[in-house]
Homo-oligomer: A and B are copies of this chain.
């Protein structure tokens, strides 16, 4: 994610991976609605939507009163985030997702170097060097891996009929001792996206904080033979035989998740007891759990794993704002909420544009501090939720014999209430150097610290319908949204003219923070008027504001009447006064003001806090 975002931005990136090849099957696979929106902003959602399985519904099964197995107690929407552009999750195996990234990166000239691993990480202690954005204060020594060893090799428990699994996978590698295979890389920035057992995190001496309770999870991917009707929905089953989660996978495949009651040798912090865990155990519990329906396994397993997981967050996400950790290196939690890959990809989506800004000399190094500030809070929220979910999932359902059991309605309500978090749609970045909610009232629907919610607007020149989110692409540029009302009205025509003239001035924030003769390098101006499309003319917008006919939009229904309309209402903007919004390069609203605030210097003050004047 970081490599793709940064190489797309033209940054010179190297990716070192100790795996000899990309992941082929299994592993993380759930893509949340916000992650789809985010990947769409990089032009990467098409393949995801084409290849992935869509999970629309969540079905709940609980014990029947007559004791004869389970019954469906409800089906609800899997996503509970009304403004999500895509109201479903995508399931796609990690190999396919990696392949989408590898394809995208290749277009930007970046390929993963593997198998390589780091042996030393050194950060300069010189403050002057650390504070100079053009310096290379980090040294990483890397070695080519000649041979990998996996402790599980030769261990019959770790493979099932020869099927690949990463259960018990070791982090040990046999090092190359040929000095020619050693390289020292000098870097301006380093990001450790190296997983729950992060080597980078250890080098930085960063501790994981949180509960030490350990849970054992078993996962199996296969094509079952079944008459269970909800096998293509996400299904949560509380049965007397145990709890089971079913997730539909590509083709006719499904994934079975079981939280295993046992499996640790010496209490909660011990090692995996390999005699008690394995795919047969997972399949046996699942088979019992779906009764009275049939669940047979005549086909070979595609992939499986068993793993132990804690619920923890790293104490820091960075050292000197020069070395960062991201993803599982920062936060670990259960797979139940399907958040692993989503939280991780959104970490570096948040970080990448900030690094690009610093590298280009557009912004101060200080903006990098907002990475930990923004993403750590999210990680804590996620793990708090995970704890509540974990206990409700693993406990048995309430019954006459078990009055302390889980009440199905409460379990369902918990999932519903956390829809903003699990979908990623509700993520809110708190006020900081780059996020200021002082004038929120001019556009309450453009929630500061939130991503811009979807809205179809109509391009004036050709009446083509556009999704606002598709205009806010991840190109490292700020999007300046001007809601100018109806310029066919004399008053608004004057406002538009004044804005256009201001933007052309050499002392406007646009001129100050843009490189010379490159007025569109840092900011993209998008105009949203309120003139009905039948009357609107793009020629009504002053050229100081409208750099190309394609950037004038209006709030109206589409020509086919199927979409659009009510943009001002959605964003809470009055057509009589209009509003201005600065959307951060990651798609989150950074600032809102009146149109007056653009010309009177209010917006200038906001950008001056972290942007650097260009000469």
A residues with a Cβ closer than 8 A to B are 53-57, 75, 77-78, 84, 87-88, 227, 229, 231-233, 248, 252, 461-464, 533-534, 537-539, 549, 559-560, 562
Contacts and interface: CB of A to CB of B under 8 A. Distances in A.
A463 to B, nearest CB: 4
A559 B77 contact: yes
Given A229-B539, A534-B75, A559-B77, A463 B57 contact: yes
Given A75-B534, A539-B227, A56 B463 contact: yes
Contact of A537 (B84, B229, B463, B562): B229
A371 to B, nearest CB: 32
A353 to B, nearest CB: 25
Given A77-B559, A87-B559, A462-B248, A229 B56 contact: no
Contacts of A88: 464, 559-560
Contacts of A75: 534
A462 B534 contact: no
Nearest to A462: B232
A538 B464 contact: no
Nearest to A88: B559
Contacts of A462: 53-57, 232-233, 248
A87 B560 contact: yes
A453 to B, nearest CB: 14
A224 to B, nearest CB: 12
18 contacts: A53-B462, A54-B462, A54-B464, A55-B462, A56-B463, A57-B463, A57-B533, A57-B559, A78-B559, A84-B560, A87-B560, A87-B562, A88-B559, A229-B537, A232-B461, A232-B538, A248-B462, A252-B549
B559 A56 contact: yes
A231 B56 CA distance: 43
A539 B252 CA distance: 15
Nearest to A465: B56
A464 B77 CA distance: 11
A232 B562 CA distance: 21
A56 B464 contact: yes
Contacts of A227: 539
Nearest to A55: B462
Q: Which residue, of A57, A233, A562, has the highest number of chain B Cβ atoms within 10 A?
A: A57
Closest 6 CB pairs of A and B: A87-B560, A229-B537, A232-B462, A232-B461, A56-B463, A56-B559
Contacts of A231: 461
A44 to B, nearest CB: 14
Contacts of A84: 560
Contacts of A232: 461-462, 538, 549
A248 B464 CA distance: 12
A306 to B, nearest CB: 28
A562 B82 CA distance: 11
Given A55-B462, A248-B462, 9 more contacts: A53-B462, A56-B463, A56-B559, A84-B560, A87-B559, A87-B560, A227-B539, A229-B537, A233-B461
A92 to B, nearest CB: 14
A544 B549 CA distance: 57
A255 to B, nearest CB: 14
Contacts of A77: 559-560
A83 to B, nearest CB: 11
A584 to B, nearest CB: 27
A437 to B, nearest CB: 29
A232 B461 CA distance: 6
Nearest to A233: B462
A55 B533 CA distance: 14
A225 to B, nearest CB: 12
Nearest to A560: B87
A233 B458 CA distance: 13
Nearest to A549: B232
Q: Which residue, of A53, A461, A464, A560, has the highest number of chain B Cβ atoms within 10 A?
A: A560
